């Protein structure tokens, strides 16, 4: 039996469950339960907050997991990644108020930036040779400029409509992300065998979709 951690409720949840089903794996999904067992494959599914998934997989509480690369790399656990999954595509971008003057990244020197991804943002600013003040906040990042908390933000964007409705303009793309399958690095031979079967099915599903 292998233990898979997926997001309980959020933007990864539905596509994660659909992928498992498309692999021909059946299970009963009750939104109230924190775990469920597949009926025709040696798999147990744990439902967790996405931010907790890399840590649980690293520690072996779960054997494998599905999470966004943005969260994985932010937490410094990119070595756990084994397979890109092609859904939940988004980018981490810097945005400034619509009317703000902005020519290039140097304009952020000494400015205040609000984000939930301080490590990814810091790495990007270092690479660009820009020193700014990063304020880590856990949610509603896009309202930070309008309440005077920051000059700019760095947040997840897919269509860009949330930025526009908050009077913001996207100026830099910091990181591109999609959902990935991650694995603990010390799986038993038995769990490795099950994981290989699962990865084989995932690859077949993805080929059929192309
Ligand atoms: P949790 O309650 O589990 O902590 P959350 O609010 O942190 O959830 P979600 O907003 O559900 O997270 O996003 C989960 C992941 O989905 C993100 O880390 C990112 O990889 C991806 N994602 C976020 N926003 C979008 C989007 N607009 N379009 C596509 N994928 C997205
Ligand atoms: Zn989260």
Ligand 2 centroid to residue 193 C-alpha, Å: 30
Sign for the pseudo-dihedral over CA of 47, 51, 54, 57: negative
Whether residue 115 is found in the same domain as residue 75 = no
Whether residue 135 is found in the same domain as residue 110 = yes
Q: Is the CB of 83 within 6 Å of ligand 1?
A: no
Whether residue 164 is found in the same domain as residue 185 = no
ipTM value: 0.96
Ligand 2 centroid to residue 186 C-alpha, Å: 26
Whether residue 137 is found in the same domain as residue 94 = yes
Whether residue 199 is found in the same domain as residue 163 = no
Q: Give the pLDDT confidence of 169-193 residue by residue, as tens digits.
A: 999 999 999 999 999 999 999 999 9
Contact 111, 132 (CB under 8 A): yes
- Phi and psi at 155, nearest 5°, equal -150, 170
Q: Is the CB of 93 within 6 Å of ligand 1?
A: no
Q: Give the pLDDT confidence of 20-70 residue by residue, as tens digits.
A: 999 999 999 877 789 999 999 999 999 999 999 999 999 999 999 999 999
Atom of ligand 1 nearest to the CA of 162: 27
Whether residue 76 is found in the same domain as residue 7 = yes
- What distance in Å separates the CA atoms of residue 146 and residue 137, rounded to the nearest whole number? 15
Whether residue 162 is found in the same domain as residue 112 = yes
Whether residue 143 is found in the same domain as residue 195 = no
Q: What is the CATH number of the domain that holds 140?
A: 3.40.190.10
Q: Is the CB of 7 within 6 Å of ligand 1?
A: yes
Atom of ligand 1 nearest to the CA of 7: 3
- Structural domain harbouring 54: 2-88+178-209
Domains of the chain: total? 2
- What distance in Å separates the CA atoms of residue 100 and residue 138, rounded to the nearest whole number? 24
Whether residue 120 is found in the same domain as residue 132 = yes
Predicted TM-score (pTM) of the model is 0.96
Closest CA to 98 of 160, 157, 168, 153: 168
Whether residue 161 is found in the same domain as residue 193 = no
Q: Which residue, judged by its Cα, is nearest atom 27 of ligand 1?
A: 158
Q: What is the pLDDT of residue 159?
A: 87
Whether residue 166 is found in the same domain as residue 121 = yes
């Amino acid at each position: 039996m292998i233990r898979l951690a997926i997001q309980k409720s959020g933007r990864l949840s539905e596509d994660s469950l659909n992928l498992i089903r498309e692999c021909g794996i059946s299970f009963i999904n009750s939104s109230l339960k924190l775990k469920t067992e597949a009926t025709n494959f040696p798999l147990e599914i744990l439902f967790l907050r996405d931010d907790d998934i890399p840590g649980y997989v690293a520690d072996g509480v779960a054997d494998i997991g599905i999470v966004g690369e943005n969260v994985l790399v932010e937490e410094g656990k990119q070595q756990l990644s084994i397979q890109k999954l092609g859904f939940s595509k988004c980018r981490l971008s810097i945005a400034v108020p619509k009317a703000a003057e902005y020519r290039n990244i140097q304009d952020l020197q000494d400015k205040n930036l609000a984000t939930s991804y301080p490590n990814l943002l810091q790495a990007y600013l270092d690479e660009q040779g820009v020193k700014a003040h990063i304020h880590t906040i856990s949610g509603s990042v896009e309202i930070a400029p309008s309440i005077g908390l920051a000059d700019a933000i760095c947040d997840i964007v897919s269509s860009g409509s949330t930025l526009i409705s908050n009077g913001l303009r996207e100026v830099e793309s910091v990181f591109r992300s999609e959902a990935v399958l991650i694995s603990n690095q010390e799986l038993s031979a038995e769990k490795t065998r099950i994981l290989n079967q699962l990865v084989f099915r995932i690859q077949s599903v993805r080929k059929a979709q192309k």
